[in-house]
Structure 1
Amino acid sequence: MVSKKDIAAVVVSTVLSLVVFELFLEHVARIKPIPSGWGWAGSPRRILSKSTGDSEANQFGYRGQPIHYDKDDYVVVLLGDSQVESASEPVEKMPERLLEAELGARMGRKVKAFSLAASGWGQDQQLQALDRYLQSDRADLVLVWSTPGNDFWEDTFVDRSPLVMAGPIKPTYRIEADRLTGPIYPKDFYYGGFALTQLLGELYGKTQHKSLPQVISDAWKTHLPIRPRSPTPACEQYQKLDQQTLLTSEDKFDLTKKYRLETAEDLLESKTHYAPYMLPQNEMDDYQRRLMALLYARIREVASGHGAAMKVFYITKKLPSFEIACIGSEQSGYFAVDRNFDVALSKVVPSDLLINIPVPGGKEINVSDADRHLSTIGNERTMRALAEELTRAR
């Protein structure tokens, strides 16, 4: 008969073996934790910058000027994504610098503005960055540059990719029992908590022909109210338009016509730039709106808890454009869309916090025909108009 002493010896031996194997995997085999989130070093648009190294990063690792201010300075924090990061433009022409000058001239006092942003961010990473910043620094005003064509789906999923194939893992949140839960994966991590469980996860993934980020992404989706969506038969009447043609030849299209855009994005799971704008609406669209509203509410709570006001702004360009009436592919089917950013944001941001900035001009306000981010000219016009709105409201 096996004694309790023998059982204890086996247990201790097993635990010690697992500890030794874990240390081997971490320090000898050097299995690396899964990265979660990114700043300037990992920004997908960093290649557009003419600088090298991390010379353009602030103390928190985001593109922007060093965070230094005097006790009497009016301090503004800019949260956002690639629009705030402005990777294609010189550092001295970033939105933070332009807003500093415009706001300072109108307020008659010294203003300092700092960027907490990176390309591909949603409100999830913005919230985490703000919380981190306010642990050591102060702000008088927190400005969120909203990009409603991206933010809804970016907030919803644990990876940053509009495709079925998973992208980089990031810190994010979800709704549980009508409450915001997270951040989940707030920093680099081992899958399952250990290098050993990560190794086992990778082996499991290979049996399913999946990468580990894909395993994580697929598991995340099981917590979401993803529902079937019926294609729109009326979409068949519109002329097809592929994504590449849209990016390079927009000025050649008939402004009086409606088009259906071909896309490889994950429409069936609402992991797309066209969520929550597809019709008819379903439970997933409502979930994405509720999640974003909760994230904005938490950002406001964090800001006000540190004595800062908060505003959310978004831009609308006055360029002539044709209408994309439907989105889809032969595989997914085609769905009607109504991409009304004004209505979408009004459902998630209180009206007293929301500012719309119309940006006048033609092609000169964009980086290029293929890159619709704001150029220096576009940023100058945007920050000038924003400063006017902010001082008018004071």
Structure 2
Amino acid sequence: MIEFSHISKLLIKKKLKILTNTEKVQLKKFNKKHPFSKDIKIAELIDSVNSYSKINKENAWKLIEARTKTERPVIKLFKKRWYGYAASLVLILTSAYFLKDILFQTAIPNNPNQTETSNIVKGTDKAILTLADGSEVFLEKGTAVKTQNANSNGKEIVYTANTKRTATVIYNRLTIPRGGQFFIKLADGTQVWLNSESQLKYPVAFIEGKTREVELIYGEAYFEVTSSSQNNGAKFKVINKSQEVEVLGTAFNIKAYKDENTIYTTLAEGSVAITFDNKSEILVPNQQSIFNTTNSNFKLKTVDVYNEISWKDGVFSFERKPLKDIMKVFARWYDMEVVFENKSLEDEKFFGVLDKEQSIKEILETIKILK
């Protein structure tokens, strides 16, 4: 039986035009088996969510109601437990993006206790480019920048292919602050999406025939690498922390934040060879490697790749994610801090698909409005 939450997720992905072929087949089968689903009204879907369980959603709202203090806004998760209504929040979060256009047609009265979230701003395209001489250039939406090797329109930076042979490697660094994201196209045509609080070091031009090497100093990045056949046989490697990823013409995601001791490498297409502690493992599509840099523990598991890379398409997608991990994602994108007063809440698990363009206030109000 296909779960309601899974169907909601497929509808969201259909809206965003990012359904895989397998998911298109699943949705087609569901519609064929349940033809009435095509005639379901949004209002009826909301009623279905509301009647799913007899749950006190007002209390659920209070648990994640926002308030700020100090220079960086703080979201505080209160001491009460929510075991009695966790299932409702699963459904609410799963359907939040799909329903948000309808939900926010309803006027929401101002409440002085909720205005504290208004100064928490969603992330946007911004980065700091550090040139070889150490000088810094701020890249942001609406501002055009041109350097000797690249051009930026404020949303991305594109390096031009080097037509002259070079024997010296010159590096630039791109730093994405909290509350930021950025896209970069390297000189070999490789495309990289950088998530909030990340830093990438890379050559402005690659030496012909030599291994193309970049370093993800920290953070998260999704790579679509041009093949070695397009670069005179040159391999492509990503160095980060305690591991090295050799690319065999592929698309993959690396998450290696500086405040975490685990590196996650997820393969979307092709294959990669991961080297750590003088050992090597080859990943196949839909596999994720998990490497603990503290105890050198390494393991592989099969994952839903979409959940790991949806951030680059403007979507938060969570599947059985602990609340502490979900709030880390929100903290980086909205540049805020999250405090758990009740530590037992940290491991509560949720499904959720949300639009990154929503404000944190909208996300919280989406939960409240379904009470």
The answer to whether TM tops 0.5 is no
Structure whose CA Rg is larger: 1
TM-score, normalised to structure 1's length?
A: 0.23
Q: Which structure's residues are more often helix, by fraction?
A: 1
Instruction: Choose between structure 1 and 2: higher strand proportion.
Output: 2
